[in-house]
Homo-oligomer: A and B are copies of this chain.
């Protein structure tokens, strides 16, 4: 089973990497870029009996390791 976890900074949290990308795009001459935010996407290949079990397992992984609940939001997508 494959789980895709998308982790992004909560809105309102300063994103220095996003700002760096935004400035670099401007320097390269790209117009009309209002805001850039960068996050992480983590793909996990795991053994689980069913999607519900897999989602619960991955939620536990997010709570213990993958995401910082104070400044980050995360979403989980499970595919067979």
Which residues of A are at the interface with B, using a C-beta cutoff of 8 A? Answer: 6, 8, 18, 21, 24-25, 28, 30-48, 57, 60-61, 64-66
Contacts and interface: CB of A to CB of B under 8 A. Distances in A.
Contacts of A61: 25, 28, 30
B38 A45 contact: no
Nearest to A35: B45
A30 B42 contact: no
Contact of A28 (B35, B43, B48, B65): B65
Given A37-B42, A39-B41, A41-B41, 4 more contacts: A25-B65, A30-B61, A35-B45, A36-B45
A21 B35 CA distance: 29
Given A28-B64, A65-B24, A44 B33 contact: yes
